[in-house]
Amino acid sequence: MIYNAGEHCTLANIWDVLWAGLPLDLSVSAFLTLPVWIATAFSLRYTDMRLRTILSAYLILAVLFVVLVTAGDIVMYHHWKFKLDASIFNYMSSPGSAGASAPAVYIVTCLSSAFIAIVGCIVIAIRMTPKRIMEDGEGINRTNFLATGALLVFTIFGITGRRITEASVFEFKPIVLNHAAVNTSAHMLHSFWIYLQKPDKQVRNMRDAECDELMNGLYPEQMDDITDTLLATTRPNVLTIQLESFGASFVETLGGAKGVTPELCRWMEQGVNFTNAWASSFRTDRGTVSTLSGCLSYPTYSLMMEDDCLGHFPSLASTLSGLGYKTDYLYGGNSENMNKRKYLLASGFQKVWDINDIDVPEAERDAWGANDSISFQRLYNILTTRTDSAWYFGYQSISSHEPWAVPYHKLDNEVYNAFAYTDHFLGAFLDSLSKTPVWDNLVVIIFADHGSMYQLDYQHPMFFRMPLLMVGGAVKEPKTLDMFICQSDIVGTLLAQMQINNKDYPWSRNVLSKNYQYPFVYATYPAGMLFADGTGVTMMDLQSGCVVYSEGEGEDMRVSRTKAILQRSYDGLKALNIEH
Where exactly are the structural domains of the chain?
6-196, 237-503
Contact 407, 246 (CB under 8 A): no
Contact 37, 152 (CB under 8 A): yes
Query: Looking at the domain that runs over 237-503, which CATH code has it been given?
Result: 3.40.720.10
Paired with 536 in beta bridges are: 533
* Local confidence band at 135 (pLDDT 50, 70, 90 cut-offs): very low
H or E stretch covering 373: helix 372-385
Does residue 160 have a pLDDT over 60? Answer: no
* Local confidence band at 345 (pLDDT 50, 70, 90 cut-offs): very high
Paired with 396 in beta bridges are: 242, 331
The chain-wide mean pLDDT, for the chain, equals 88
- Give DSSP secondary structure letters for 3-49: TT-GGG--HHHHHHHHHHHHHHHHHHHHHHHHHHHHHHHHHHHSTT-
Give the pLDDT confidence score for residue 176 in this predicted structure. 85
Paired with 242 in beta bridges are: 396, 447
pTM: 0.85
Neighbours of 236 (CB within 10 A): 22
CA gap 441, 147 in Å, rounded: 80
Instruction: Tell me the CA distances in angstroms from 139 to 12, 49, 133, 143, one per residue in order.
Output: 43, 17, 10, 12
351 or 363: which leads in pLDDT: 351
- Quick one: DSSP state of residue 519? -
pLDDT tens digits along 482-518: 999 999 999 999 999 999 998 899 999 999 999 999 9
Of 89-98, 166-175, 197-206, minimum mean pLDDT range: 89-98
By CB neighbour count within 10 A (0-12 exposed, 13-18 middle, 19+ buried), where does 490 fall? buried
Give the pLDDT confidence score for residue 193 in this predicted structure. 79
In this structure, the dihedral spanned by the alpha carbons of residues 57, 62, 68 and 72, taken in order and rounded to 10 degrees, is 150
Q: What are phi and psi of 148, to 5 degrees?
A: -65, -40
Contact 438, 474 (CB under 8 A): no
Tell me which long-range contacts 371-374 makes (C-beta under 8 A, separation of at least 24): 371/332, 371/398, 371/399, 371/406, 371/407, 371/421, 372/332, 372/397, 372/398, 372/399, 372/400, 372/406, 372/421, 372/422, 372/425, 372/426, 373/407, 373/421, 373/425, 374/332
* Local confidence band at 136 (pLDDT 50, 70, 90 cut-offs): very low
Contact 300, 501 (CB under 8 A): no
Report the 3 state secondary structure along 387-414: CCCCEEEEEECCCCCCCCCCCCCCCCCH
**Residue 53 is which amino acid?**
T
CA gap 92, 465 in Å, rounded: 29
Give the pLDDT confidence score for residue 92 in this predicted structure. 55
